[in-house]
Amino acid sequence: LEAGRAYWVRIMVEDGDQTLFADLNFTTSNVSDVTPPEILNLAVDIVPMPSGTMQLKITWYTDEATTETVDLLGGVLQGDAVALKKNHEMVFIPDPPLAAGTYDVTVTGVDASGNSNASTASFVIDDDDVVDVPDDLDGDETSDASCDDGVGEDCPGASTGPSNDVLLGLALLVVLLVVGALVRTRRAEQGMLMDDGAVFDDVFDDV
């Protein structure tokens, strides 16, 4: 828009069968805004997440409403494309999580007059902030050397003694042997009683 000029705008909204409208008249200022916005308190907070990821919370403040653009890790994060607010916050989740080290972030803000400004800050990822992601194991493979050839106490399928099925089979075998021995003993006792009865009958006949 030109400076020092009057403008008229009509805003129309359709509501069912009727159209609502409002007229607005305004005059632009003769004073041009050529002052870029000031960017203050740029900071990055590292927030470990329960899911094993890492969250970067980027916050800053501008002395007037501006747009939001963040340059981080070689990429651009676009926030508000229209100058709407002074307090700014953007969240980024790096994938994969960042390694320990120092990184830079740059934010750029553009005010309603098209004046832009940028600010850069560094943030540090400490060893305590690093997220350890274990390598996925394929199938039943394991990285433990004690599991070579499937032998070792730490192997998932290894066992230091007979299985439950083997123990159950042995118990049943013992029971069968005991029952068989009892049956044989009982039969032997019955045979001895029959022999004693026959001898008694012979003696009685002789008398």
What is the average pLDDT across 181-196?
68
Residue 2 forms part of a structural domain: no
Where among 102, 129, 156 does a domain terminate?
A: 129
* Residues in CB range of 175: below 8 A, 6 or more apart: none
Q: For residues 168 and 105, state if they share a domain.
A: no
Look up the CATH number of the domain holding residue 85. Answer: 2.60.40.10
What pLDDT digit, counting tens, does each position of 101-124 carry?
999 999 999 999 899 999 999 999
Residue 18 forms part of a structural domain: no
pLDDT recorded at residue 44? 95
Distance between CA atoms of 52 and 35, rounded to whole angstroms?
44
* Residues in CB range of 61: below 8 A, 6 or more apart: 39, 40, 41, 86, 87, 88
Residue 182 forms part of a structural domain: yes
pLDDT recorded at residue 39? 97
Q: For residues 125 and 47, state if they share a domain.
A: yes
Neighbours of 11 (CB within 10 A): 9
What pLDDT digit, counting tens, does each position of 59-114 carry?
999 999 999 999 999 999 999 999 999 999 999 999 888 899 999 999 999 999 89
Does 7 or 198 have the greater pLDDT score?
A: 7
pLDDT recorded at residue 127? 82
Where among 129, 154, 181 does a domain terminate?
A: 129
Where among 81, 104, 129 does a domain terminate?
A: 129
Number of domains in the chain: 2
Residue 31 forms part of a structural domain: no
Q: Which residues pair with 6 in a beta bridge?
A: 27
Distance between CA atoms of 194 and 44, rounded to whole angstroms?
102
Residue 12 forms part of a structural domain: no
Does 53 or 183 have the greater pLDDT score?
A: 53
Residue 134 forms part of a structural domain: no
What pLDDT digit, counting tens, does each position of 135-180 carry?
554 444 444 555 555 555 555 554 456 667 777 777 788 878 877 7
pTM of the model: 0.54
Residue 21 forms part of a structural domain: no
The residue segments making up the domain with residue 67 are 39-129
